[in-house]
Amino acid sequence: MTVIVRDLRPDVRADAEGFSTTRRLALPYMLSTPESVVHTLTHAHPDAHFTQLVAEEDGEIIGTAQVGVAHESTEPGQGSANIYVRPDRRHRGAGSLLLRTAEERLAALGVTKLFAWVLDEPENRAFAERRGFRASRSAYFLRLDLTAGGLPPRQDPPPGVELRTAADFADDPRPLFELDAEVVGDEPGDIDVEFTDYEAWLAENWRHPLLNRDLTVVAVVDGRPAAFSVAHTDGTRYGTAMTGTAREFRGRGLAKLAKNDSLHRARAAGYTEAFTGNDTGNEPMIAINKWFGYEVAATEVRHVRELG
């Protein structure tokens, strides 16, 4: 049986389904649907040179790779390749072939530093280390059982603060873009990111098929979005895509307030399982998520190697 690697075909439903299924089997803590797979590929910024690769064995997709240039970074020459293989289809060479293909494409685009997320398991880390990667920072996947009834009570906003949903900004989402850009700029990470392209943000984020505007909650102070908790859903599961606060409003518990309200909305809407992620060094956010009742489900370690 021969494994081949090729580009995902966005107009072929079976490709998107196979990609999404493989991702969910390999990484069940992140939401994925065929629609989100296609959207991510077809709405990526041209400067990202974003590619989704699949490893195929006898017509079955058994591995995936998301490959791109960090075009929003202030430092040129950086790229990423995140590779996942179905747990029941390992040791067939799919991961090695996906990585080699990704490295060749990124090198041709001038990428000299490659980042990759690797599950913190002995086999996965050994795979990365054999190929010249060195471990960098780490992050947690956290899970919350929304049926357990342990959510903190809903809290009334303090004076001058109003809780709204992203749906309330449907006519003009630019204030949410501005808040997102500020929060992303301060997020821990190996690659500095700047959001400057509003139209790209609309295409990639605001119109993303996983975004649930009714469950995304925004804390508004004097008419200005000050904090938010962005909710993604895939029909059965809920995930927090981002929680953050504008700099001048930090220390007032607004992100906590927004996320708590969002989780209560999710439970009322029938969602039973919630996921989120945290950099292991982000102690304030980890403490907030523990307060909600989240538990660590898995850990990923960012790895990096030089290309060329």
Summarize the confidence of residues 185-193 as an average pLDDT. 58
The pLDDT, as a whole number, for residue 236 is 87
Q: Over the stretch 44-79, which tens digit does the pLDDT of each residue have?
A: 999 999 999 999 999 999 999 999 999 878 789 999
* pTM for this predicted structure: 0.91
Q: How many domains does the chain have?
A: 2
Same-domain status, 281 and 157: yes
User: pLDDT confidence of 284, banded at 50, 70, 90?
Assistant: confident
In a domain, 131, yes or no: no
Q: Over the stretch 111-162, which tens digit does the pLDDT of each residue have?
A: 999 999 999 999 999 999 999 999 999 999 999 999 987 899 998 999 999 9
Same-domain status, 148 and 287: yes
Same-domain status, 294 and 161: yes
Same-domain status, 217 and 169: yes
Q: Any idea which of 145-149, 189-193, 260-264 has the lowest mean pLDDT?
A: 189-193
Same-domain status, 184 and 289: yes
- d(Cα 60, Cα 183) in Å, to the nearest integer? 40
Summarize the confidence of residues 282-291 as an average pLDDT. 88
Beta bridge partners, 51, equal 67
Give which of 116, 142, 141 is closest to 129, Cα–Cα. Answer: 116
For 16, the token pair is 């998107």
Same-domain status, 181 and 226: yes
Same-domain status, 242 and 148: yes
| Domain range for 288 | 144-299
Same-domain status, 288 and 151: yes
Q: Reply yes or no on whether the pLDDT at 197 is more than 90.
A: no
Same-domain status, 156 and 295: yes
- pLDDT, mean over the chain: 93
The pLDDT, as a whole number, for residue 149 is 78
In a domain, 125, yes or no: no
CATH of the domain at 288: 3.40.630.30
User: pLDDT confidence of 195, banded at 50, 70, 90?
Assistant: low
Same-domain status, 92 and 155: no
In a domain, 102, yes or no: yes
The pLDDT, as a whole number, for residue 133 is 97
Residue 235 has, within 13 A of its CA and on its CB side, a CA count of 6
Summarize the confidence of residues 260-265 as an average pLDDT. 97
Cβ atoms of 275 and 28 closer than 8 Å: no
Same-domain status, 155 and 283: yes
